[in-house]
Amino acid sequence: MFSHLGLSSQALQGVKGMGYTEPTPIQLRAIPLVLEGRDVIGSAQTGTGKTAAFALPIITKLGEHAPSPRALILEPTRELAAQVETAFRDLARFTNLRVTVVYGGVGYGRQREALERGVDVLVATPGRLLDHLGQGTCRLDQVQFLVLDEADRMLDMGFLPDVRRILDKCPRQRHTSLFSATIPVEIETLIQWAMKNPQTVEIGARRMPAETVRHVVYPVSDDQKSDLLRALLAEVNYDSVLIFCRTKHRADRVAHMLKQNNHAVAVLHSNRTQREREQALDGFRNGRYEVLVATDIAARGLDITVVSHVINYDVPQHPEDYVHRIGRTGRAQATGDAFTIMVAEDRPHVAAIERFISQSIPRVKLESFTYKYTSLFDDNPRDTSREVSRGARGVRLHGGYFFGPARRKRR
């Protein structure tokens, strides 16, 4: 129960307003620690409720409005920053605390005005925050709570030097929390440098994707990838699909192809303007688009709750990215499907993913699809094409595993 965790009545009202009834595991464990003033390392996937896990105790501790930022939340991408600001603002709406966000890609004017008016909680991406610090529009000398969110992605994006420069401008006497799905050695070093005697809260096995996700690999020859994607979308009853591509260019190409196929498609990658990205996300969330094609960086950690299917059009090169990508489906106990299209040269990457998640992923042929030969099928001990039974959606390459009935379409 939230009411036993030591949160302020205003924070509890915020929880109620959001419709949360029971705390998630990370909230149960992290909230009391932050309230006690401990530094916390949260090793948790996105979708676990980690935003409220750090926001609620901070809201409780900050109490009343004061002019200088006393909580700083660093995020790797603008989308995440905007999302966390919204969640924070919603949870704090029964207080007089002010929450604002600063990120790049938009003008400085409004951000400067908000900072001048005085904020309690500042959510920021590192580059733009450094700009504001350089221009003297923002100071961090009153910061008591620092949150480094998605620290592993911060590392991947080369932000750690910026993060260190920002930390140098915060008081040494502060409480620091760090959230990261994985803790590579560079993050360990950052932890030792930036945190004091931190307590680790690990939710589930660090590397494990949600247990409710069904993983399937679709082997195919390279020149049939886009045909297979179209066939998959035609075959599967999906509510909403998130498709991952390796590059912005490929994302654009796939989106264009699907649009021509009469799918309602939006694209999300870092070459799009902030406005375009917001429109894409809002449209996807409210159902105007049934398909969102994205690159890893753009989609990292986004709170898109209704994804029924994640399709890896390109196999991720880093196993961690697989876990991040499919973190968008199978959230909050709902089941989801994660499909990965695999061509011959992807084989080692898929093997690395299987090792990383300690799970082998079934190879499946799509029943309705006319395959060209690919050496991938040579792995197959028997010719399974004859095993296909009517009404089944696919057949597992190593034996008679049939795809269960998929969910109904929303429309």
Which CB, 30 or 315, lies closer to ligand AMP?
30
Nearest approach, Cβ of residue 7 and ligand AMP (Å) = 12
Task: Name beta bridge partners: 200.
Answer: 41
| Structural tokens at position 301 | 């950690």
CA 203 to chain centre: 16
Q: Are 189 and 148 in contact (CB under 8 A)?
A: no
Nearest approach, Cβ of residue 303 and ligand AMP (Å) = 5
Which CB, 5 or 217, lies closer to ligand AMP?
5
Nearest C-alpha neighbor of 8 from the set 87, 72, 64: 64
Which CB, 154 or 216, lies closer to ligand AMP?
154
Task: Name beta bridge partners: 243.
Answer: 293, 311
C-alpha distances in Å from residue 35, one per residue of 24, 29, 76, 99, 290: 17, 11, 25, 20, 41
For residue 390, what is the DSSP state? T
Nearest approach, Cβ of residue 350 and ligand AMP (Å) = 27
Which CB, 90 or 354, lies closer to ligand AMP?
90
Nearest approach, Cβ of residue 97 and ligand AMP (Å) = 18
How far, in Å, CA of 303 to CA of 101, rounded? Answer: 17
Give the Cβ contact number of residue 166 at 10 Å: 21
Nearest approach, Cβ of residue 268 and ligand AMP (Å) = 17
C-alpha distances in Å from residue 391, one per residue of 338, 366, 403, 406, 407: 21, 12, 10, 12, 15
For residue 182, what is the DSSP state? S
Nearest approach, Cβ of residue 328 and ligand AMP (Å) = 11
Nearest approach, Cβ of residue 96 and ligand AMP (Å) = 23
Nearest approach, Cβ of residue 65 and ligand AMP (Å) = 24
How far, in Å, CA of 113 to CA of 380, rounded? Answer: 63
Which CB, 252 or 303, lies closer to ligand AMP?
303
Nearest approach, Cβ of residue 45 and ligand AMP (Å) = 8
Look-up: residue for tokens 């990120």?
103
Which CB, 233 or 242, lies closer to ligand AMP?
242
Which CB, 91 or 315, lies closer to ligand AMP?
91
Which CB, 50 or 365, lies closer to ligand AMP?
50
Beta strand pairing call for 336-342 and 213-219: parallel
Nearest approach, Cβ of residue 120 and ligand AMP (Å) = 20
Nearest approach, Cβ of residue 137 and ligand AMP (Å) = 29
Decide: helix, strand or coil at residue 31.
helix
Which CB, 331 or 363, lies closer to ligand AMP?
331
Contacts of 276 (CB under 8 A, 6+ apart): none
Nearest C-alpha neighbor of 177 from the set 6, 317, 30: 30
| Structural tokens at position 32 | 């009391």
Which CB, 147 or 220, lies closer to ligand AMP?
147
Which CB, 264 or 306, lies closer to ligand AMP?
306
Sign of CA dihedral 324, 325, 326, 332: positive
The burial class, CB within 10 Å (0-12 / 13-18 / 19+), for 232 is buried
Nearest C-alpha neighbor of 377 from the set 221, 216, 214, 231: 221
Residues near ligand AMP (CB under 6 A): 20, 22-24, 27, 46-52, 303, 305, 332
How far, in Å, CA of 172 to CA of 148, rounded? Answer: 15
